[in-house]
A and B are shown apart, each in its own frame.
Chain A
């Protein structure tokens, strides 16, 4: 367990004990990353605030049952993903536009990933479909390792790789279209 995992683990254990001041600390530490993730997925600041609040409520309600305090990061992003998915599903249902699960196409040797900057990713996110957008947010904006992304998304690491590959290609297309240099 590294220092940050330990810090999160300690905060989570203090919350599970019922130390009320630890909740504020936990929220202060994790609010920005969660908001960034949600903002990247829904493209609306007000909606993101509502969804982040929903995520926090679910997190606080689920904390007593969390058995591995050091696994807080994947757990909290999984909850955030579920909240966002529920929201997107409702809005798609309203528009009657299905979301298609993409196939597993593992691709290696993708060089674009190495040169993507945070600004580039953020600039092109709104032009991507949800599946590709969320994998870029988790991997590039939240810097989650591939295995943790896989855990959050509930798919094998190979699928994460293929989604990343596809997402980067799509992002490149979006950025080129908007006048950025590929």
Chain B
């Protein structure tokens, strides 16, 4: 472009600097990733407990289970909204978030399957193991895509760095 691109100008106001630092905070993003993943995993494990109960539960207990599952899912949805609208993940954050999600999916899948094996029959255990496997595949795919995007951006950064003589 012609002359529109400016040289570094005067100092950015401190208030704006602070607001933008909060806006790009890695800690805030990771908190939301953890909250979302934990909410989803907790909801899944409570659902497994409910599904593998040997005796029919009293209505109030069922309502309590349903409430807990709803709370876990609500946290997951809230975190998803924040991460898509307010605090979108940058490439490195996505890789980190993908690892957290994969680890949580693995733990949830194994724990859920173990719970089912101890409390229910083979059919239910197999079903829960399959659901756990789906969770692991989904989070693994997200991690692979995040790593691929990260590598692509690294390549682009290196190419632009080599072309730019002002870059150290």
Contact = CB atoms under 8 A, between A and B. Distances in A.
Contacts of A32: 6, 9-10
A27 B88 contact: no
Contact of B88 (A24, A61, A73, A144): A61
Interface string B1-25: 1111111111111011101100110
Interface string B145-168: 000001001101100110110110
A13 B160 contact: yes
A3 B5 CA distance: 10
Interface stretch (B32-40, B62-70, B89-97, B121-129): B89-97
26 contacts: A5-B5, A10-B161, A13-B153, A13-B156, A16-B153, A17-B92, A17-B157, A18-B26, A18-B91, A20-B24, A24-B12, A24-B20, A27-B12, A28-B8, A29-B5, A32-B6, A56-B19, A57-B19, A57-B23, A61-B85, A64-B89, A73-B4, A73-B5, A143-B2, A148-B1, A148-B4
A153 to B, nearest CB: 14
B8 to A, nearest CB: 5
Contacts of B91: 16-18, 64
Contacts of B24: 20, 23, 60
A53 B19 contact: yes
Nearest to A1: B163
Given A17-B150, A33-B4, A53 B92 contact: no
Nearest to B5: A4
Interface string A28-63: 111111000000000000000100110011001101
Contacts, number: 117
A17 B154 contact: yes
B86 interface: yes
B26 A20 contact: yes
A23 B153 contact: no
Most buried by B among A15, A60, A142, A145: A60
Interface size range of chain B in the complex: 35 or more
Interface string A133-164: 00000000011110010000000000000000
Given A15-B90, A18-B26, A64-B90, A23 B4 contact: no
A142 B92 CA distance: 33
Contacts of A148: 1, 4
B154 A10 contact: no
A100 interface: no
Most buried by B among A5, A17, A61, A63: A17
Interface in B33-86: 85-86
Contacts of B11: 28
B94 to A, nearest CB: 8
A158 to B, nearest CB: 20
